[in-house]
Amino acid sequence: MSDKIKIDIVSDVVCPWCTIGYKRLEKAISEMGIQDKVEIEWHPFELNPNMPVEGENVQEHIANKYGASLEDQKRSQKNMTEVGAELGFKFDYFEEMRMVNTRDAHILLEYAKENGKQTDLKMRLVESFFSERKDVSTKETLKLALQEVGLNENEGMARLESDDARSQVQSKEEYWKNLGVNSVPTIVFNQKSAVTGAQPVAVFKEVLTELLQEKNL
């Protein structure tokens, strides 16, 4: 493992730019043909850790949190939809879309990591939320996602009842915040250099090329 480029991605499953950032990174890795030379690990960041169970309408949420007008939001959503399409990802924004609590999703992503399926589950949850109009805070959606990526749903769902698993996610979030991570995606390479935001494919290629040269890979 030590001869691989370690890529730590701090993100949330309801963060559109996290999705775009990852898809661009994935495209860079694929076009460079270095899938076997990188190791990706996802880390929790909750955009809305205090979001209540019922969630909040996305338009109201963005207006309240960022002061964005409906017109600005529509423009931003159109832009993200177009960028996503270019990367083979479907953003399906709709009037009743709700921002939800993602703590349980992050607990399951830790479980998936132990079983070598973290990226699979991450993308399944992201697709569920952005492409399939599903609520990724509900037990039904989470259980189905586990099944769809080949994880043991009973074992995974049992983690949601564990206070230890819950506090571990909170501890990891605090760890990254204490390192100065306050926006996502934050993508860290070999635990020493980081980029924030959905950088262009070319930027990721540049960073990866430098790291490959350093490691003589």
Residues in contact with 178: Cβ distance below 8 Å, sequence separation at least 6, in sequence order: none
pLDDT of residue 177: 96
Residue 81 has which token pair? 């939809």
Nearest to 39 by CA among 50, 49, 52, 25: 25
Q: Please tell me the distance from the alpha carbon of residue 36 to that of residue 192, in angstroms, as a whole number.
A: 21
Domains of the chain: 5-215 (3.40.30.10)
Q: Please tell me the distance from the alpha carbon of residue 25 to that of residue 128, in angstroms, as a whole number.
A: 21
Q: Please tell me the distance from the alpha carbon of residue 197 to that of residue 39, in angstroms, as a whole number.
A: 20
Contact assessment for residue 54 and residue 102, using Cβ atoms and an 8 Å cutoff: no
Dihedral, CA of residue 155, residue 159, residue 165 and residue 170, to nearest 10 = 130
Sequential pLDDT tens for the chain (217 residues): 468 999 999 999 999 999 999 999 999 999 999 999 999 999 999 999 999 999 999 999 999 999 999 999 999 999 999 999 999 999 999 999 999 999 999 999 999 999 999 999 999 999 999 999 999 999 999 999 999 999 999 999 999 999 999 999 999 999 999 999 999 999 999 999 999 999 999 999 999 999 999 877 6
pLDDT of residue 1: 46
pLDDT of residue 3: 84
ω into 200 cis (within 30 of 0)? no
Quick one: 42 exposed, middle or buried, by C-beta within 10 A (0-12, 13-18, 19+)? buried
Entry pTM: 0.95
Nearest to 142 by CA among 100, 95, 170, 114: 100
Local structure of 66: helix, strand or coil? helix
47: left (phi over 0), alpha (psi -120 to 50) or beta: alpha
Provide the angle, in degrees to the nearest 10, between the axes of the packed helices 139-148 and 118-130: 130
